Chains A and B, each alone.
Chain A
Amino acid sequence: MKHIKTINKANLKKTAEKGGCGKCQASCQSACKTSCTVANQKCAKDE
Protein backbone atom coordinates (compact mmCIF):
# COMPACT_ATOMS: atom_id res chain seq x y z
CA MET A 1 0.00 0.00 0.00
CA LYS A 2 1.11 3.52 -0.70
CA HIS A 3 -0.31 5.39 2.27
CA ILE A 4 -0.47 2.75 4.98
CA LYS A 5 2.21 0.31 6.07
CA THR A 6 1.08 -2.51 8.39
CA ILE A 7 3.96 -3.57 10.59
CA ASN A 8 2.68 -6.58 12.52
CA LYS A 9 0.49 -9.65 12.19
CA ALA A 10 -2.53 -8.08 13.89
CA ASN A 11 -3.36 -11.52 15.27
CA LEU A 12 -5.03 -10.71 18.58
CA LYS A 13 -8.32 -12.28 17.52
CA LYS A 14 -6.65 -15.57 16.63
CA THR A 15 -5.03 -15.67 20.07
CA ALA A 16 -8.47 -15.47 21.65
CA GLU A 17 -9.55 -18.65 19.90
CA LYS A 18 -6.63 -20.77 21.09
CA GLY A 19 -5.76 -18.86 24.27
CA GLY A 20 -6.51 -18.97 27.95
CA CYS A 21 -4.33 -21.95 28.92
CA GLY A 22 -3.07 -20.09 32.00
CA LYS A 23 0.54 -21.25 31.72
CA CYS A 24 1.95 -17.74 31.40
CA GLN A 25 3.58 -15.80 34.19
CA ALA A 26 1.45 -13.81 36.60
CA SER A 27 2.05 -10.27 35.43
CA CYS A 28 2.98 -8.72 38.74
CA GLN A 29 5.57 -11.37 39.59
CA SER A 30 8.14 -10.07 37.15
CA ALA A 31 9.59 -6.66 37.85
CA CYS A 32 6.88 -4.19 38.53
CA LYS A 33 5.03 -5.04 41.74
CA THR A 34 3.31 -1.66 41.74
CA SER A 35 1.89 -1.40 38.27
CA CYS A 36 0.29 -3.83 35.93
CA THR A 37 1.71 -4.22 32.45
CA VAL A 38 0.54 -7.32 30.66
CA ALA A 39 1.44 -6.85 27.02
CA ASN A 40 5.13 -7.17 27.86
CA GLN A 41 4.63 -10.75 28.98
CA LYS A 42 5.16 -13.65 26.64
CA CYS A 43 2.88 -16.55 25.79
CA ALA A 44 4.01 -19.75 27.56
CA LYS A 45 1.58 -22.18 25.95
CA ASP A 46 4.28 -24.24 24.24
CA GLU A 47 6.60 -24.48 27.25
Chain B
Amino acid sequence: MIHKFKLSGFNILLDVNSGGVHIVDDLTYDLLDNVEPPFADECPEEVVNKLSKLYDAEEIKECYGEIVELYNDKILFSEDDYEKYAKFAVASPVKAMCLHIAHDCNLRCEYCFASTGDYGVGRKRMSLETGKKAIDFLIEKSQDRKFLELDFFGGEPLMNWDVVKEIVIYAREREKECGKKFRFTITTNGLLLTDDKIDFINEEMSNVVLSIDGRKSVNDRMRKRVDGTGSYDKITDVFKKLVDKRGDKEYYVRGTYTKYNLDFSEDVMHLYELGFDQISVEPVMADPEMPYAITEADLPKIFKEYEILAQKLQKVYDEGKFVNFFHFMLDLDQGPCAIKRLRGCGCGNEYVAVTPDGDIYPCHQFVGIDDFKMGNLDDGTFNQEMKSYFAASHVYSKPECKKCWAKFYCSGGCNANNYIYEGDIHNAHKLSCEIQKKRLECSIMMKALKLAETAE
Protein backbone atom coordinates (compact mmCIF):
# COMPACT_ATOMS: atom_id res chain seq x y z
CA MET B 1 0.00 0.00 0.00
CA ILE B 2 1.20 3.49 -0.81
CA HIS B 3 -0.14 6.94 0.05
CA LYS B 4 0.85 10.07 -1.80
CA PHE B 5 -0.03 13.70 -1.29
CA LYS B 6 1.02 17.18 -2.29
CA LEU B 7 1.76 19.72 0.41
CA SER B 8 3.79 22.93 0.59
CA GLY B 9 5.36 22.31 -2.78
CA PHE B 10 6.38 18.73 -2.03
CA ASN B 11 5.13 15.55 -3.65
CA ILE B 12 5.35 13.05 -0.82
CA LEU B 13 5.11 9.31 -1.25
CA LEU B 14 4.67 7.04 1.76
CA ASP B 15 5.23 3.31 1.55
CA VAL B 16 2.88 2.26 4.31
CA ASN B 17 4.30 -1.14 5.25
CA SER B 18 8.00 -0.30 5.30
CA GLY B 19 7.48 3.19 6.68
CA GLY B 20 9.52 4.52 3.76
CA VAL B 21 9.05 8.20 2.93
CA HIS B 22 10.05 9.45 -0.49
CA ILE B 23 10.00 12.86 -2.12
CA VAL B 24 9.14 12.46 -5.79
CA ASP B 25 8.92 14.65 -8.85
CA ASP B 26 5.69 15.33 -10.77
CA LEU B 27 6.45 12.56 -13.27
CA THR B 28 6.76 9.92 -10.55
CA TYR B 29 3.66 11.24 -8.84
CA ASP B 30 1.61 10.89 -12.04
CA LEU B 31 3.24 7.63 -13.11
CA LEU B 32 2.19 6.03 -9.82
CA ASP B 33 -1.44 6.57 -10.82
CA ASN B 34 -0.82 4.25 -13.73
CA VAL B 35 1.46 1.46 -12.56
CA GLU B 36 1.44 -1.04 -9.71
CA PRO B 37 2.82 -4.51 -8.99
CA PRO B 38 3.41 -6.94 -10.53
CA PHE B 39 5.88 -4.92 -12.60
CA ALA B 40 7.02 -5.82 -16.09
CA ASP B 41 10.67 -5.25 -17.00
CA GLU B 42 9.78 -2.27 -19.15
CA CYS B 43 7.20 0.46 -18.65
CA PRO B 44 3.99 -0.59 -20.46
CA GLU B 45 3.69 1.10 -23.83
CA GLU B 46 0.19 2.42 -23.17
CA VAL B 47 1.40 4.16 -20.02
CA VAL B 48 4.31 5.76 -21.89
CA ASN B 49 1.90 6.92 -24.59
CA LYS B 50 -0.57 8.30 -22.08
CA LEU B 51 1.99 10.30 -20.12
CA SER B 52 4.13 11.36 -23.07
CA LYS B 53 1.73 14.26 -23.61
CA LEU B 54 3.19 15.76 -20.46
CA TYR B 55 6.62 14.12 -20.12
CA ASP B 56 9.49 12.91 -22.27
CA ALA B 57 9.15 9.21 -23.15
CA GLU B 58 12.73 8.36 -22.14
CA GLU B 59 12.24 10.10 -18.80
CA ILE B 60 9.08 8.08 -18.20
CA LYS B 61 10.94 4.82 -18.84
CA GLU B 62 13.79 5.90 -16.57
CA CYS B 63 11.36 6.85 -13.80
CA TYR B 64 9.61 3.51 -14.14
CA GLY B 65 12.98 1.84 -13.60
CA GLU B 66 13.46 3.74 -10.35
CA ILE B 67 10.01 2.68 -9.11
CA VAL B 68 10.78 -0.96 -9.89
CA GLU B 69 14.16 -0.69 -8.15
CA LEU B 70 12.55 0.60 -4.95
CA TYR B 71 9.92 -2.13 -5.23
CA ASN B 72 12.68 -4.75 -5.46
CA ASP B 73 14.36 -3.13 -2.45
CA LYS B 74 11.05 -3.57 -0.57
CA ILE B 75 10.58 0.10 0.22
CA LEU B 76 7.79 0.71 -2.27
CA PHE B 77 4.61 -1.36 -2.49
CA SER B 78 6.11 -3.51 0.26
CA GLU B 79 4.07 -6.36 1.63
CA ASP B 80 1.77 -6.09 4.64
CA ASP B 81 3.01 -9.01 6.72
CA TYR B 82 2.40 -7.68 10.22
CA GLU B 83 -0.85 -9.45 11.01
CA LYS B 84 1.04 -12.39 12.48
CA TYR B 85 2.38 -10.04 15.16
CA ALA B 86 -1.10 -9.00 16.24
CA LYS B 87 -1.25 -11.94 18.63
CA PHE B 88 1.75 -10.53 20.52
CA ALA B 89 1.17 -8.78 23.84
CA VAL B 90 -2.24 -10.38 24.26
CA ALA B 91 -1.64 -11.11 27.94
CA SER B 92 0.34 -7.97 28.66
CA PRO B 93 1.09 -6.83 32.17
CA VAL B 94 -0.70 -3.67 33.33
CA LYS B 95 1.95 -0.96 33.37
CA ALA B 96 0.07 2.34 33.25
CA MET B 97 -2.75 3.81 35.28
CA CYS B 98 -4.87 6.92 35.19
CA LEU B 99 -5.67 7.61 38.83
CA HIS B 100 -8.83 9.67 39.29
CA ILE B 101 -7.75 11.30 42.48
CA ALA B 102 -10.69 13.72 42.53
CA HIS B 103 -14.01 13.46 40.76
CA ASP B 104 -14.50 17.11 41.43
CA CYS B 105 -13.35 20.30 39.78
CA ASN B 106 -13.11 24.01 40.45
CA LEU B 107 -13.75 24.84 36.80
CA ARG B 108 -16.95 24.36 34.85
CA CYS B 109 -15.53 23.93 31.37
CA GLU B 110 -18.40 23.82 28.92
CA TYR B 111 -16.89 21.01 26.84
CA CYS B 112 -15.76 18.77 29.73
CA PHE B 113 -16.01 15.09 28.80
CA ALA B 114 -16.15 14.30 32.53
CA SER B 115 -19.38 16.25 33.10
CA THR B 116 -17.48 19.12 34.80
CA GLY B 117 -15.45 16.71 36.85
CA ASP B 118 -17.80 14.15 38.38
CA TYR B 119 -18.18 11.84 35.36
CA GLY B 120 -21.91 11.96 35.92
CA VAL B 121 -21.65 9.85 39.05
CA GLY B 122 -21.23 12.39 41.85
CA ARG B 123 -18.42 14.57 43.22
CA LYS B 124 -15.93 12.47 45.19
CA ARG B 125 -12.29 12.45 46.24
CA MET B 126 -10.12 9.39 46.47
CA SER B 127 -9.07 8.22 49.94
CA LEU B 128 -5.43 7.49 50.68
CA GLU B 129 -6.42 3.89 51.38
CA THR B 130 -7.83 3.49 47.87
CA GLY B 131 -4.81 5.24 46.40
CA LYS B 132 -2.46 2.80 48.13
CA LYS B 133 -4.52 -0.12 46.86
CA ALA B 134 -4.17 1.29 43.35
CA ILE B 135 -0.38 1.40 43.71
CA ASP B 136 -0.37 -2.19 45.04
CA PHE B 137 -2.61 -3.30 42.17
CA LEU B 138 -0.32 -1.73 39.56
CA ILE B 139 2.80 -3.26 41.09
CA GLU B 140 1.19 -6.70 41.25
CA LYS B 141 -0.27 -6.64 37.75
CA SER B 142 2.87 -5.20 36.16
CA GLN B 143 4.69 -8.54 36.50
CA ASP B 144 8.19 -8.04 35.05
CA ARG B 145 7.69 -4.47 33.79
CA LYS B 146 10.09 -2.12 35.54
CA PHE B 147 8.75 1.27 34.48
CA LEU B 148 5.25 2.05 35.72
CA GLU B 149 3.30 5.12 34.68
CA LEU B 150 0.76 6.77 36.88
CA ASP B 151 -1.15 9.91 35.95
CA PHE B 152 -2.90 11.90 38.66
CA PHE B 153 -6.07 12.92 36.93
CA GLY B 154 -9.48 14.26 37.73
CA GLY B 155 -11.52 16.33 37.78
CA GLU B 156 -8.86 18.50 39.25
CA PRO B 157 -6.19 16.51 41.13
CA LEU B 158 -4.96 19.50 43.14
CA MET B 159 -8.32 19.45 44.96
CA ASN B 160 -7.05 16.32 46.70
CA TRP B 161 -3.42 17.39 46.99
CA ASP B 162 -2.54 15.83 50.34
CA VAL B 163 -3.55 12.41 49.04
CA VAL B 164 -1.50 12.97 45.87
CA LYS B 165 1.59 13.61 47.99
CA GLU B 166 0.97 10.64 50.27
CA ILE B 167 0.47 8.31 47.31
CA VAL B 168 3.75 9.47 45.76
CA ILE B 169 5.57 8.86 49.06
CA TYR B 170 3.99 5.40 49.38
CA ALA B 171 4.83 4.49 45.76
CA ARG B 172 8.45 5.59 46.23
CA GLU B 173 8.73 3.23 49.21
CA ARG B 174 7.13 0.35 47.36
CA GLU B 175 9.20 0.82 44.19
CA LYS B 176 12.39 0.30 46.17
CA GLU B 177 11.06 -2.93 47.67
CA CYS B 178 9.85 -4.24 44.32
CA GLY B 179 12.53 -3.09 41.88
CA LYS B 180 10.11 -0.85 40.01
CA LYS B 181 10.35 2.75 38.87
CA PHE B 182 7.27 4.98 38.91
CA ARG B 183 6.91 7.75 36.39
CA PHE B 184 4.29 10.15 37.66
CA THR B 185 2.34 12.64 35.63
CA ILE B 186 -0.21 15.18 36.79
CA THR B 187 -2.82 16.93 34.68
CA THR B 188 -4.00 20.18 36.22
CA ASN B 189 -5.99 23.31 35.44
CA GLY B 190 -3.58 25.29 37.59
CA LEU B 191 -6.04 27.22 39.76
CA LEU B 192 -4.73 25.76 43.02
CA LEU B 193 -1.04 25.78 42.11
CA THR B 194 1.19 27.30 44.79
CA ASP B 195 4.96 27.48 45.16
CA ASP B 196 5.18 24.39 47.35
CA LYS B 197 2.99 22.37 44.97
CA ILE B 198 5.08 23.52 42.01
CA ASP B 199 8.26 22.39 43.76
CA PHE B 200 6.80 18.99 44.63
CA ILE B 201 5.49 18.48 41.10
CA ASN B 202 8.79 19.48 39.54
CA GLU B 203 10.66 17.13 41.84
CA GLU B 204 8.43 14.08 41.55
CA MET B 205 6.51 14.21 38.29
CA SER B 206 8.15 13.01 35.07
CA ASN B 207 5.62 14.95 33.06
CA VAL B 208 3.06 17.60 33.84
CA VAL B 209 0.13 18.54 31.65
CA LEU B 210 -1.08 22.11 32.12
CA SER B 211 -4.54 22.80 30.76
CA ILE B 212 -4.99 26.10 28.91
CA ASP B 213 -6.73 26.67 25.58
CA GLY B 214 -4.74 29.60 24.19
CA ARG B 215 -5.85 33.20 23.81
CA LYS B 216 -7.62 34.75 26.81
CA SER B 217 -10.91 35.15 24.96
CA VAL B 218 -10.79 31.54 23.76
CA ASN B 219 -9.75 30.08 27.10
CA ASP B 220 -12.22 32.06 29.19
CA ARG B 221 -15.15 31.32 26.92
CA MET B 222 -14.97 27.61 27.76
CA ARG B 223 -12.79 27.30 30.87
CA LYS B 224 -14.81 29.16 33.48
CA ARG B 225 -14.75 29.05 37.25
CA VAL B 226 -17.82 28.07 39.22
CA ASP B 227 -18.77 31.77 39.48
CA GLY B 228 -18.56 32.16 35.72
CA THR B 229 -15.32 34.15 35.59
CA GLY B 230 -12.46 33.07 33.36
CA SER B 231 -9.30 31.28 34.46
CA TYR B 232 -6.73 32.71 32.05
CA ASP B 233 -5.23 35.48 34.18
CA LYS B 234 -4.55 33.20 37.13
CA ILE B 235 -3.15 30.22 35.27
CA THR B 236 -0.81 31.90 32.80
CA ASP B 237 1.33 33.26 35.63
CA VAL B 238 1.52 30.04 37.65
CA PHE B 239 2.10 27.87 34.60
CA LYS B 240 4.95 30.09 33.55
CA LYS B 241 6.43 29.92 37.01
CA LEU B 242 6.17 26.12 37.05
CA VAL B 243 7.78 25.76 33.63
CA ASP B 244 10.55 28.24 34.41
CA LYS B 245 11.49 26.27 37.53
CA ARG B 246 11.14 22.89 35.82
CA GLY B 247 14.38 22.89 33.87
CA ASP B 248 14.60 20.24 31.16
CA LYS B 249 11.89 17.97 32.53
CA GLU B 250 8.96 17.16 30.33
CA TYR B 251 5.74 19.19 30.34
CA TYR B 252 2.96 20.19 27.99
CA VAL B 253 0.59 23.08 27.92
CA ARG B 254 -2.48 21.36 26.61
CA GLY B 255 -5.50 22.99 25.04
CA THR B 256 -8.71 22.02 23.35
CA TYR B 257 -10.04 23.77 20.28
CA THR B 258 -13.72 23.87 19.39
CA LYS B 259 -15.97 25.21 16.65
CA TYR B 260 -15.52 28.62 18.29
CA ASN B 261 -11.79 28.79 17.47
CA LEU B 262 -11.16 26.97 14.23
CA ASP B 263 -8.32 29.49 13.80
CA PHE B 264 -6.53 27.50 16.52
CA SER B 265 -3.08 28.11 15.03
CA GLU B 266 -3.47 31.53 16.68
CA ASP B 267 -3.86 29.78 20.02
CA VAL B 268 -0.83 27.56 19.52
CA MET B 269 1.25 30.58 18.63
CA HIS B 270 -0.19 32.55 21.53
CA LEU B 271 0.98 29.83 23.90
CA TYR B 272 4.39 29.92 22.25
CA GLU B 273 4.53 33.69 22.62
CA LEU B 274 3.69 33.34 26.32
CA GLY B 275 6.95 31.41 26.62
CA PHE B 276 5.80 27.79 26.38
CA ASP B 277 7.63 25.56 23.92
CA GLN B 278 5.91 22.18 24.55
CA ILE B 279 2.40 22.55 23.22
CA SER B 280 -0.53 20.24 22.59
CA VAL B 281 -3.78 21.66 21.25
CA GLU B 282 -6.34 19.25 19.93
CA PRO B 283 -9.97 19.08 18.80
CA VAL B 284 -12.86 18.75 21.20
CA MET B 285 -14.71 15.46 20.93
CA ALA B 286 -18.36 16.06 21.68
CA ASP B 287 -21.95 15.26 20.83
CA PRO B 288 -22.42 16.86 17.39
CA GLU B 289 -25.56 18.57 18.71
CA MET B 290 -23.48 20.72 21.07
CA PRO B 291 -22.95 24.26 19.74
CA TYR B 292 -19.17 24.05 20.24
CA ALA B 293 -18.83 20.59 18.66
CA ILE B 294 -16.65 20.05 15.63
CA THR B 295 -18.41 18.29 12.77
CA GLU B 296 -17.40 16.99 9.37
CA ALA B 297 -18.54 20.30 7.85
CA ASP B 298 -15.66 21.97 9.70
CA LEU B 299 -12.99 19.69 8.24
CA PRO B 300 -11.92 21.82 5.24
CA LYS B 301 -11.30 24.79 7.53
CA ILE B 302 -9.46 22.58 10.05
CA PHE B 303 -7.26 21.05 7.34
CA LYS B 304 -6.30 24.51 6.13
CA GLU B 305 -5.60 25.61 9.67
CA TYR B 306 -3.14 22.75 10.25
CA GLU B 307 -1.31 23.81 7.08
CA ILE B 308 -1.19 27.37 8.39
CA LEU B 309 0.09 26.09 11.72
CA ALA B 310 2.82 24.09 9.98
CA GLN B 311 3.92 27.26 8.17
CA LYS B 312 3.97 29.26 11.39
CA LEU B 313 6.00 26.62 13.19
CA GLN B 314 8.38 26.37 10.25
CA LYS B 315 8.96 30.10 10.50
CA VAL B 316 9.97 29.61 14.15
CA TYR B 317 12.43 26.87 13.11
CA ASP B 318 13.81 29.01 10.29
CA GLU B 319 14.64 31.64 12.90
CA GLY B 320 16.67 29.03 14.76
CA LYS B 321 14.19 28.78 17.63
CA PHE B 322 12.47 25.78 19.17
CA VAL B 323 8.86 24.82 19.70
CA ASN B 324 7.33 21.36 19.85
CA PHE B 325 3.73 20.78 18.78
CA PHE B 326 2.67 17.40 20.15
CA HIS B 327 0.59 16.33 17.18
CA PHE B 328 3.31 17.12 14.66
CA MET B 329 5.92 15.11 16.57
CA LEU B 330 7.14 12.27 14.42
CA ASP B 331 10.38 10.37 14.22
CA LEU B 332 10.56 8.63 10.86
CA ASP B 333 13.52 6.45 11.91
CA GLN B 334 13.46 5.85 15.66
CA GLY B 335 9.76 5.79 16.47
CA PRO B 336 7.91 2.97 18.18
CA CYS B 337 8.29 -0.56 16.87
CA ALA B 338 5.72 -2.12 14.57
CA ILE B 339 4.35 -4.27 17.42
CA LYS B 340 3.50 -1.18 19.45
CA ARG B 341 1.93 0.40 16.39
CA LEU B 342 -0.55 -2.43 15.97
CA ARG B 343 -2.32 -1.79 19.24
CA GLY B 344 -1.67 1.77 20.27
CA CYS B 345 -2.57 3.09 23.70
CA GLY B 346 -3.16 -0.34 25.24
CA CYS B 347 -6.25 0.74 27.15
CA GLY B 348 -8.01 -2.03 29.04
CA ASN B 349 -4.93 -4.21 28.64
CA GLU B 350 -1.72 -2.40 29.58
CA TYR B 351 -3.48 0.72 30.80
CA VAL B 352 -6.43 1.20 33.15
CA ALA B 353 -8.19 4.00 35.01
CA VAL B 354 -9.19 3.83 38.69
CA THR B 355 -11.96 5.99 40.20
CA PRO B 356 -12.26 7.39 43.74
CA ASP B 357 -14.42 4.36 44.60
CA GLY B 358 -11.70 1.99 43.42
CA ASP B 359 -13.61 1.00 40.30
CA ILE B 360 -11.42 -0.05 37.39
CA TYR B 361 -12.16 0.99 33.79
CA PRO B 362 -10.20 0.52 30.53
CA CYS B 363 -9.29 4.23 30.52
CA HIS B 364 -10.48 7.61 31.78
CA GLN B 365 -12.78 8.05 28.79
CA PHE B 366 -14.73 4.90 29.69
CA VAL B 367 -15.27 5.91 33.33
CA GLY B 368 -18.97 6.05 34.15
CA ILE B 369 -20.00 3.65 31.37
CA ASP B 370 -21.27 0.67 33.38
CA ASP B 371 -20.75 -1.89 30.62
CA PHE B 372 -17.02 -1.17 30.72
CA LYS B 373 -16.43 -1.45 34.45
CA MET B 374 -13.62 -4.01 34.69
CA GLY B 375 -13.47 -4.54 38.41
CA ASN B 376 -12.88 -2.97 41.80
CA LEU B 377 -9.86 -2.66 44.09
CA ASP B 378 -11.83 -3.43 47.26
CA ASP B 379 -13.40 -6.68 46.15
CA GLY B 380 -10.33 -7.72 44.12
CA THR B 381 -12.20 -8.23 40.85
CA PHE B 382 -10.52 -7.61 37.51
CA ASN B 383 -12.32 -8.84 34.42
CA GLN B 384 -9.80 -10.88 32.41
CA GLU B 385 -12.33 -11.47 29.67
CA MET B 386 -12.65 -7.74 29.09
CA LYS B 387 -8.87 -7.37 29.28
CA SER B 388 -8.57 -9.97 26.53
CA TYR B 389 -11.24 -8.17 24.53
CA PHE B 390 -9.19 -4.96 24.56
CA ALA B 391 -5.95 -6.86 23.94
CA ALA B 392 -7.50 -8.27 20.78
CA SER B 393 -8.32 -4.77 19.56
CA HIS B 394 -5.67 -3.85 17.01
CA VAL B 395 -5.47 -2.43 13.52
CA TYR B 396 -6.23 -5.79 11.93
CA SER B 397 -9.39 -6.26 14.00
CA LYS B 398 -10.74 -2.87 12.90
CA PRO B 399 -12.07 -3.10 9.33
CA GLU B 400 -11.54 0.55 8.36
CA CYS B 401 -8.07 0.63 9.95
CA LYS B 402 -6.90 -2.48 8.16
CA LYS B 403 -7.16 -0.72 4.81
CA CYS B 404 -6.01 2.73 5.97
CA TRP B 405 -2.62 4.22 5.10
CA ALA B 406 -2.31 5.84 8.54
CA LYS B 407 -2.75 2.68 10.61
CA PHE B 408 0.88 2.43 11.75
CA TYR B 409 0.83 6.06 12.93
CA CYS B 410 -2.43 6.27 14.88
CA SER B 411 -2.63 2.53 15.68
CA GLY B 412 -6.37 2.26 15.42
CA GLY B 413 -7.25 5.50 17.13
CA CYS B 414 -9.01 5.99 20.43
CA ASN B 415 -11.12 2.98 21.44
CA ALA B 416 -13.30 5.20 23.64
CA ASN B 417 -14.07 7.63 20.82
CA ASN B 418 -14.80 4.67 18.58
CA TYR B 419 -17.27 3.31 21.10
CA ILE B 420 -18.89 6.59 22.12
CA TYR B 421 -19.38 8.01 18.63
CA GLU B 422 -19.44 4.90 16.39
CA GLY B 423 -20.93 2.28 18.75
CA ASP B 424 -18.05 -0.20 18.90
CA ILE B 425 -14.36 0.02 19.80
CA HIS B 426 -13.62 -1.58 16.42
CA ASN B 427 -15.42 1.10 14.38
CA ALA B 428 -13.08 3.93 13.45
CA HIS B 429 -14.34 7.37 14.50
CA LYS B 430 -14.34 9.09 11.14
CA LEU B 431 -13.98 12.66 12.40
CA SER B 432 -10.94 11.76 14.50
CA CYS B 433 -9.47 9.80 11.60
CA GLU B 434 -9.73 12.66 9.13
CA ILE B 435 -8.09 15.11 11.52
CA GLN B 436 -5.40 12.59 12.43
CA LYS B 437 -4.55 11.94 8.80
CA LYS B 438 -4.21 15.64 8.07
CA ARG B 439 -1.91 16.12 11.05
CA LEU B 440 0.20 13.20 9.86
CA GLU B 441 0.51 14.63 6.38
CA CYS B 442 1.61 17.96 7.82
CA SER B 443 4.12 16.34 10.15
CA ILE B 444 5.55 14.10 7.41
CA MET B 445 5.84 17.16 5.17
CA MET B 446 7.73 19.06 7.87
CA LYS B 447 10.09 16.12 8.32
CA ALA B 448 10.51 15.88 4.55
CA LEU B 449 11.43 19.52 4.41
CA LYS B 450 14.09 19.02 7.06
CA LEU B 451 15.46 15.73 5.81
CA ALA B 452 15.45 16.64 2.14
CA GLU B 453 18.27 19.05 2.83
CA THR B 454 20.51 16.29 4.14
CA ALA B 455 19.46 13.14 2.25
CA GLU B 456 21.53 12.03 -0.67
- Chain A contacts to B: CB under 8 angstroms: 1-13, 15-16, 18-45, 47
- Chain A residues within 8 Å of B336, by CB: 15, 19, 24, 38-39, 41-43
- Please name the 5 residue pairs, one residue from A and one from B, whose CB atoms are nearest each other, closest first: A19-B337, A10-B20, A12-B19, A20-B339, A26-B96
> Is B337's CB under 8 angstroms from A7's CB?
no
> Is B66's CB under 8 angstroms from A4's CB?
yes
> Is A29's CB under 8 angstroms from B338's CB?
no
> Is B412's CB under 8 angstroms from A28's CB?
no
Most buried by B among A13, A26, A31, A38: A31
> Is A27's CB under 8 angstroms from B66's CB?
no
C-beta contact mask, B182-215 vs A, less than 8 Å → 1, else 0? 0101010000000000000000000101000000
Chain B interface residue count, CB cutoff 8 Å, equals 97
> Is A3's CB under 8 angstroms from B147's CB?
no
> Is A20's CB under 8 angstroms from B28's CB?
no
Complex A-B: 19 CB contacts under 8 Å:
A1-B69, A3-B27, A5-B23, A7-B21, A7-B455, A9-B333, A13-B18, A13-B81, A13-B338, A19-B338, A19-B339, A25-B183, A26-B96, A27-B344, A28-B414, A31-B254, A39-B409, A43-B335, A43-B336
In the complex formed, the residue of B with least CB distance to A19 is: B337
- Chain A residues within 8 Å of B440, by CB: 39
- Chain B residues within 8 Å of A31, by CB: 207, 209, 252, 254, 278, 280, 326
- Chain A residues within 8 Å of B455, by CB: 5-7
> Is A24's CB under 8 angstroms from B24's CB?
no
- Chain A residues within 8 Å of B441, by CB: none
> Is A43's CB under 8 angstroms from B345's CB?
no
> Is B78's CB under 8 angstroms from A13's CB?
yes
In Å, the complex CA distance between A26 and B349 comes to: 11
